[in-house]
Structure formats: structure tokens, C-alpha cells
């Protein structure tokens, strides 16, 4: 059980950091700092990948016949993973939108 809790907390921690980076990327783009926005997206991608890798280990274990019990903590971790992925998609869309708006803004 402790191993499962550790993996769940790894997922929550990493994807939480990723989600924060994606939100901050949107804020940077809104301020016109597109270089910072892209750097934050890259940082978020790194954190997201670490969380996804931990989740993937659970899937690999289950495919090999060692299924983890579904706990509220694990459900929360998976919810956070999906939330971070949604923020990643939205962050890219917002950054693109802010860039287009800035390109068309009168100078």
C-alpha cells in the first residue's frame, strides 16, 4: 500500500507543478512575454511527463497481472493528471491566441 501511495503522490506532485507552469504560461502570454510562456510550457511538459511516467508504471503493473487497488488517493491522482493535460492543451491555445492578437494590434 505504501508503494501505491508514493506513486499517487508522485503523480499529484508532478502534475500539480505542471498545471501551475501551464497557468503561468498563459499569464506570461497575456502579458506579451511569449519567450517566457514557451519556457514555462517546456517546464510544464517535463513535470507532466514525470507524472505520466509514474502513472504508466501502474498501468504496466496491471497489464502484467499486478493490479493496484482503486483508492480515493489514486482516483485523485488520476483526476489531477487529466486536469493538467487539459490545462496543457488550453495553454497552447491561449498562447497562440495571444500571439495572433498581438500581431494584429495597431502599433
- Of the candidates 5, 62, 75, 76, the residue annotated as catalytic is 76
Q: How far apart are CA 69 and CA 37, in angstroms?
A: 38
Q: Is 61 annotated as a binding residue?
A: no
Active site includes 76?
Answer: yes
At residue 31, φ and ψ (nearest 5 deg) are -80, 0
In 3D, which of 52, 45, 3, 53 has the Cα closest to residue 20?
Answer: 45
Q: How far apart are CA 87 and CA 83, in angstroms?
A: 6
Active-site residues: which are they?
76
Residues annotated in a binding site for Mg(2+): 79
Residues annotated in a binding site: 79
Amino acid at each position: 500500500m505504501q508503494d501505491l501511495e508514493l506513486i499517487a503522490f508522485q503523480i499529484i506532485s508532478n502534475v500539480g507543478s505542471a498545471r501551475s507552469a501551464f497557468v503561468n504560461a498563459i499569464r506570461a502570454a497575456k502579458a506579451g512575454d511569449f519567450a517566457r510562456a514557451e519556457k514555462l510550457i517546456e517546464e510544464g511538459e517535463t513535470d507532466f511527463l514525470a507524472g505520466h511516467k509514474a502513472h504508466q508504471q501502474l498501468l504496466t503493473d496491471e497489464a502484467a497481472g499486478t493490479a493496484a487497488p482503486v483508492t480515493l488517493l489514486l482516483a485523485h491522482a488520476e483526476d489531477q493528471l487529466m486536469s493538467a493535460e487539459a490545462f496543457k492543451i488550453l495553454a497552447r491555445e491561449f498562447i497562440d491566441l495571444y500571439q495572433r492578437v498581438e500581431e494584429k494590434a495597431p502599433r
